[in-house]
Every structure is written in structure tokens, then in C-alpha cells.
Copies of this chain bind each other. A is one copy, B any other.
């Protein structure tokens, strides 16, 4: 089953491509790879939550952040589709980088970025397996809790 059929089966509708917040493009093809811009978890043009991820008052809980990583990844897939026409052309997700705006005491970045990894597995199956880095950064654009970028291979 192709990725587009899988998305339909999962009941997932890709969002519109999020317009870049600055002077760049959402995704770009080079050779057999697509590089996406770092994607924020925008929903209909706004961030559903802002702030640093961690445990405690005023912080974004890890479970919420995992869901936001999933949303950011949907935006990344929309960006990929915008340059490939169809996600069925994706042959392999190659690399995922997940930046988590983190309270300095929060060390659960891997679980947060699993919001991206699990979605990619659901949509692409074996072709969704990827190398991945998860890091905890000081702060992200617009005070987003997470930012996700992808490199995918296609035919």
C-alpha cells in the first residue's frame, strides 16, 4: 500500500503547506533527496501551544510535545508533497532532526521526537525507518515547543 492510501486509511488529511515565516522555501529537491525546512507545529496558521518542554508549572508537558512533534511532521510531509506531487514517490525517510525547546532539566527529548518517528512508521512502513537526532535547544522560533526537519529519498 502506498503512503497516500495509508494516510487515507489512517484518516489523516495533510494540512496545507505552512508558508515559510521568512525568506526560504518549505522544501527543496536536490538529486534524489528532498530537504524540508524546519517545520513548526502550526495548525491553521497558529501554534496550538508555546513555551519550553518540561515538568512543572508553565512548561509544556512531554506528552503534549510529542503530539506537537507529530503535527510538525504532518506539516513536513505536506512540504514534501508540495514538491513531489505525491508521497507515494517517497522511497525512504532518511533523516529526521527534532529540536525540542527544553527546560534545562528536561531530558526526555527522545520520547517527544517519537511523535515524528511513529507517524513516519505509520505512513511509510519500512520506508519510514530513519536515522534521527533529537536535541534540546534553548528556544525556537515563535516560542514553538518543537521543530522537525526531514530528509527523504524519492524516485
Q: Does A7 contact B (CB under 8 A)?
A: no
Total chain A interface residues with beta-carbon distance under 8 A: 59
| Cβ–Cβ contact B114 & A23, under 8 A | yes
Set of chain B residues within 8 Å of A140, measured between Cβ atoms: 107, 109, 135-136
| Cβ–Cβ contact A131 & B94, under 8 A | no
Set of chain B residues within 8 Å of A108, measured between Cβ atoms: 141
Q: A111-B22, A137-B135 are in contact. Are A31 and B28 (CB under 8 A)?
A: no
Residue of A23, A33, A104, A118 with highest tally of chain B CB at under 10 A: A23
How long is the Cα–Cα vector from A27 to B104 in the complex, in angstroms? 28
Set of chain B residues within 8 Å of A94, measured between Cβ atoms: 28, 30, 35
Q: Does A8 contact B (CB under 8 A)?
A: no
| Cβ–Cβ contact B35 & A131, under 8 A | yes
Q: A22-B117, A23-B117, A28-B94 are in contact. Are A37 and B138 (CB under 8 A)?
A: no
- Considering the complex, give the chain B residue whose CB is closest to the CB of A139: B136
CB distance from A112 to the nearest CB of B (A): 9
Q: Does A153 contact B (CB under 8 A)?
A: yes
Residue of A97, A131, A153 with highest tally of chain B CB at under 10 A: A131
